[in-house]
Amino acid sequence: MKRSLAFALISLTAAFAPATAQTPPDDDLPMSRRVVTRDPSDIVKCGDTYWVFHTGKGIPSLHSKDLLKWEPGPAVFSEPPAWITESVPGNKGGYWAPSVRKVGDKYFLYYSVSTMGAMRSAIGLATNPTLDPASPGYKWTDHGPVVESRDGGNFNAIDPSVFQDDDGSLWLVFGSQWSGIQLIQLDPETGKRIARDSPQENLADAEIIEGGFLTKHDGYYYLFLNWGTCCSGVDSTYNIVVGRSKKVTGPYVDDKGVGMLYGGGRPFIPNKNGPLIGPGHAGILEADGKTWFTCCFEGNTRMEGKATLALMPLHWTEDGWPVAEMK
């Protein structure tokens, strides 16, 4: 994200603070879980427990047995990986917008390292054979940067989202502002870029854009992303749009046929949704025979304007477009 001074003032005290978990009342379901968190990762299951990671010091985690009651778990890092000091010297240990997926016998977790409003950024990779901190095999191993950006370039290496295709190929969507949302292919064995000089595709661009997420449904690839600004509570302008393509590398178009490289995007979740404002950082979860769309809302008027985790039933129209059930 091309983070602003507003983000610096708000998120250093709020977003990086420990998350709180509360059981929501019936009138708040199925959307907000009233769990204070920003930029949630994909929700993944390990054993009988669901896990989600989010922006904050050392990459905090939350876990749940039922997707309703969430409790804080351990952070990924207790100390910053050594490479970060050289790659992004201004970073103080707060990592943004993680993405996690089980690939083979390991969990791959991608995270972004940056400073407010800067293009000097990097996306790192950490792996773990399990997410259960009580397991004897539990250990996060950092593998250094996957992709980096520098001042004077034309993209920003933040907001990673990992996607695995039906054929096993692995892809990373990332980027914000400047030239928008990017895509590179990864090696499923290492989690790193498939080759140092492998192609980097530009998937979408708009005036204010970030938070890309890829999924596949019925032969189409779907790209969800954020328009607008985050991190200002109920004043955030975030909203989510979506486009689709027959190829993972694009081109992605909306329901009007407008390319996402040219500002196209089918509206998916608007900025204001009752007490919930500013949906951001898409994810999709298949659980117990249901499909859930996951995200955070940057402002929740029931929670003193704080960012909160949300899950919504996801359906598909007859012509193949996703719809979130906004109860």
Q: What is the pLDDT of residue 17?
A: 44
- Provide the mean pLDDT of the chain: 91
Q: What share of the chain is helix, strand, coil (3-state, %, to 5)?
A: 5, 45, 50
Report CA 321 to chain centroid distance, whole Å.
21
The pLDDT of residue 115 is 84
For residue 181, pLDDT over 90 is answered with yes
**Res 10 pLDDT > 80:** no
Mean local confidence (pLDDT), 57-86: 96
More confident residue, 148 or 27: 148
Record the pTM. Answer: 0.92
**Cβ neighbours of residue 142 under 8 Å, at least 6 residues apart?**
77, 81, 83, 124, 125, 126
For residue 64, give both structure tokens. Answer: 């749940």
Q: Is the pLDDT of residue 7 over 50?
A: no
Confidence bin at 14 (pLDDT 50/70/90): very low
Residues with a catalytic annotation lie at 39, 210
Cα–Cα distances in angstroms (integers) from residue 48 to residues 30, 148, 149, 219, in the given order: 21, 36, 38, 30
- pLDDT level of residue 50 (50, 70, 90 thresholds): very high
Q: How far apart are CA 153 and CA 293, in angstroms?
A: 33
Average pLDDT score over residue span 82-106: 94
Residues in the chain: 327
pLDDT of residue 2: 43
Please say if the pLDDT value at position 5 is more than 70.
no
Strand partners, 217: 220
Q: Which pLDDT value is given to residue 116? A: 76
Nearest to 57 by CA among 24, 99, 11: 11
Lowest-pLDDT choice from 9-13, 74-78, 167-171, 241-245: 9-13
- The CA distance from 265 to 1, in Å, is 19
Burial class of residue 268, CB neighbours in 10 A (0-12, 13-18, 19+): buried
Range list of β-strands (E), 30-134: 32-36, 44-46, 49-53, 56-57, 61-64, 71-73, 94-103, 106-113, 121-128
Q: Give 1's pLDDT tier (boundaries 50, 70, 90).
A: very low
How far apart (Å, rounded) are the C-alpha atoms in residues 294 and 190?
27
Q: Percent of the chain scored above 70 by pLDDT?
A: 91
Domains along the chain with CATH numbers: 5-324 (2.115.10.20)
